[in-house]
Amino acid sequence: MKINKFYFLPVILIILIFKVSFVFAQDSKLPRILQHPDSVQIEAIEILNSESRETNLSVTPDGKYLFFMSSRGGESWSVSAGLYKNKPRFDGDIYFSKKDSTGKWTAAQNLKAINSSSGEDEPFVTQDGQQVVFQSWRRNWVAEGGPYYQAKAKGDSWTNMKGLGQGINIFFRREFSKYGGYATDGMSVSSDMNTFIIASGANYNGDMDLYWSKKDSTGKWSVCTEMPISTPKNERSIFLAADNKTVYFASDGYGGFGGLDIFKALLDENGNAIEIFNIGAPFNTDKDDYGFVLTASGEAAYFVREGNIFYADLINALPEIKPSPVLLLEGNIVGCDGNPIDAKVSLYDENDKEISVSFTNARNKGEYVLLISNPPKTKKSYKQIIETEKGFEQEPFFETKKIEIPTIKKYTKLELGKIQINDCKEEISKTTDLENIYFEFDSDKLNQSSIQLLENFIKIFNQDSNKKIILTGHTDSKGSDSYNKILSQKRLLSVQNFLESKGIDKSKIKITPKGEQNPAQTNATENGRSKNRRVEIRIE
């Protein structure tokens, strides 16, 4: 059949126009590429890089600690894993560096208490640098709740190593069984330790997707599910920022410069992208760029290019590259002798919900860091509870401090200063502590058990009636501060009135209402709260 060329030409033009329009429509859906000023510079961190491959970074929100995986080997357990850039490559180990007093990174240290011949990788470090989550395909990972584990710093070592287990372990057992093996390349955890995200797939050299798990109301991890921001192509190197809603990841499924590009996405609670950006040059090139992490201030970023760690000063970068503002609270815990001690510091909101936890020890000079990922839009009060593992005479020690948080519109770091725990023997040896009087919830009534204790106490006191009776009233954290102060006063009066009815002179009794300010146990559980509804009795 003869084709009329004058008829054929318009048809070709229509087809071309349609194709161009289709491509333009597709391209118009691609993320916007951020255009940063030329003043944004990057530089390799030579003190951390080696001839081998570094990857999978994790930085603390305050920018003091940087954790990463390196295949440099050199340890007794190191196993050869072929070549990288024509240099010997070994199974992965986790390394970390801490900034010195001048703000410079120190030489990388091998996390020897954790690393093994199993090839540890993908570290995530908590905001205080005292807990680390990591991957390890240990021989018994299925039974141990792996392949992701958590460990806590103890002095110069790491202890309490245990698998995250639950839905995370179920997911990996299922996928490993389905494919006869499984691979990952990047993991991150939210600052409140309630969200877990990984990049994973059937084959390390194939395409991967992003999956996540969340803790339910009982604190158990759900089975990992694919995130909506995954594409049919390749996603790697996930990082969840300190605000718990901004992620940075590498992908070749959203267009860009070529190879893997780094993207930023703001997520809703279901993992859908509210907005997504290609973070642009100089971070993205035609090579594979990945492993992007940044501090809570959004002013310092770190990423990986061709197996090396790079630093970028983001002060002059476009604001869109940064996550939402967060609030850091920093302080120090020391004992009565002025030396750092092991302690747990928890932060609770007005509804008694625990929103941040930090641990201290002598290695980090008693420093703690608490993080509020969603700072208040109006002035709010928070409760800071300090709990030592062992106080005077090996008993746990608790102290509560009320913290007023101002309205926060940008990244803020508040210095809370040094807190000294008064748990030394010489400070309380002049007093005799007796058994506490406990109360039911929201009650100031003495029960029969309390009456019996008070009658026994009177017999002891009458043996030396020249001393004073010190009564201190307490409540749990349910209710307002003012209400609990009044309730603790009522409980004191119940005890005082009983003692006076038994012949003890009022001048011998001193009462101090504390309300909820000095819990003996945590207020996070009913058992703990029941121990806080009390009147303490001392003879002095």
DSSP string, 440-497: -TT-----HHHHHHHHHHHHHHGGGTTS-EEEEE---SSS-HHHHHHHHHHHHHHHHH
Give the whole-angstrom CA distance, residue 109 versus residue 122. 16
Q: Where are the beta strands (DSSP E) in 241-307?
A: 246-251, 261-267, 273-278, 289-294, 300-305
Question: Per residue in 283-307, pLDDT tens?
Answer: 999 999 999 999 999 999 999 998 9
Q: Name, of 99-103, 222-226, 496-500, the range with top average pLDDT.
A: 222-226
Question: What token pair was written down for 125?
Answer: 């470090």
Note the CATH number of domain 33-321: 2.115.10.20
507 or 524, higher pLDDT: 507
Mean pLDDT on 100-104? 92
Contact 59, 65 (CB under 8 A): yes
pLDDT of 398: 67
**Helical packing angle, 481-501 and 448-461, nearest 10°:** 60
Confidence at residue 103, expressed as pLDDT on a 0 to 100 scale: 92
Q: How far apart are alpha carbons 498 and 461 in whole angstroms?
A: 14
Question: Where is average pLDDT lowest: 43-47, 145-149, 204-208, 430-434?
Answer: 430-434
As a dihedral over the C-alpha atoms of residue 27, residue 31, residue 36, residue 38, rounded to 10 degrees, the angle is -40
SS3 344: strand
Q: Is 277 helix (H, G, I), strand (E, B) or coil?
A: strand
54: CB partners within 8 A, 6+ apart: 48, 68, 69, 70, 304, 307, 308, 309
DSSP string over 395-411:
--EEEEEEEEE---SS-
173-187, 314-328, 378-392, 478-492: least confidently modelled range: 378-392
CB 538 within 8 A of CB 432: yes
DSSP-assigned beta bridge partners for residue 513: 473
Chain-centroid distance, C-alpha 490: 40
User: What is the bridge-based pairing of β-strands 412-420 and 327-334?
Assistant: parallel
Average pLDDT over residues 346-352: 85
434 pLDDT higher than 80: no
* E strand or H helix at 357: strand 354-360
Among 220-229, 382-391, 396-405, 459-468, top mean pLDDT goes to 220-229
Residue 10 pLDDT greater than 50, yes or no: no
Which parts of 60-135 are beta strand (E)? 65-70, 80-84, 87-90, 93-98, 109-110, 121-125, 131-135
Side chain identity at 288, as an amino acid letter? D
* Amino acid making up residue 45: I
Q: What pLDDT, on the 0 to 100 scale, is given for residue 252?
A: 95
CATH architecture of 430-539: 2-Layer Sandwich (3.30)
> Yes or no: is domain 327-420 CATH 2.60.40.10?
yes
- Give the 3-state secondary structure of residue 356: strand
- Residue 82 confidence (pLDDT): 79
Between 520 and 25, residue with greater pLDDT: 520
Q: Look at the alpha carbons of 8, 14, 18, 20 in this order and tell me if their dihedral is positive or negative.
A: positive
pLDDT at position 389: 64
Residue 256: the pLDDT is 92
Cα distance between residue 168 and residue 122, in whole Å: 15
Nearest Cα neighbor of 333 from 368, 363, 382, 358 is 368
Task: Give the pLDDT confidence of 29-52 residue by residue, as tens digits.
Answer: 789 999 999 888 899 999 999 989
Greater model confidence, 262 or 25: 262
Average pLDDT of the residues in 520-534: 86
Task: Please give the mean pLDDT across all residues of the chain.
Answer: 86
**391: CB partners within 8 A, 6+ apart:** 397, 421, 423
Per CATH, 327-420 and 430-539 having the same topology is answered no
Q: What is the predicted pLDDT for the residue at 433?
A: 54
Beta-bridge partners for 276: 265
- Average pLDDT (51-59) is 93
The domain spans of the chain are 1-30, 33-321, 327-420, 430-539
Residue 20 reports pLDDT greater than 70: no
pLDDT band at 203 (very low <50, low <70, confident <90, very high): very high
**pLDDT tens profile 450-481:** 998 898 888 878 877 778 899 999 999 888 88
From 282, 239, 276, select the one nearest 255 (Cα to Cα): 276
User: Residue 13 above 50 pLDDT?
Assistant: no
CB environment 435-445: b (16+ within 10 A), e (fewer): ebbbbeeeebe
If you compute the radius of gyration of the chain from its CA atoms, what whole number of angstroms results? 29
Average pLDDT over every residue of 313-334: 92
pLDDT at 85 over 90: no
User: Measuring CA to CA, how many Å separate 480 from each of 299, 351, 383, 401?
Assistant: 39, 10, 12, 15
pLDDT at 443: 94
What lies within 8 Å, CB to CB, of 413 at 6+ separation is 62, 297, 327, 328, 329, 330
Which residue in 382, 381, 391 sits closest to 333, CA to CA? Answer: 391
Please tell me which residue, 84 or 191, carries the higher pLDDT value. Answer: 191
pLDDT at residue number 24: 33
In the chain, pLDDT over 70 holds for what percent of residues?
90
Residue of higher predicted confidence among 8 and 468: 468
| H or E stretch at 14 | helix 5-28
Whether the Cβ atoms of residue 497 and residue 537 lie closer than 8 Å to each other = no
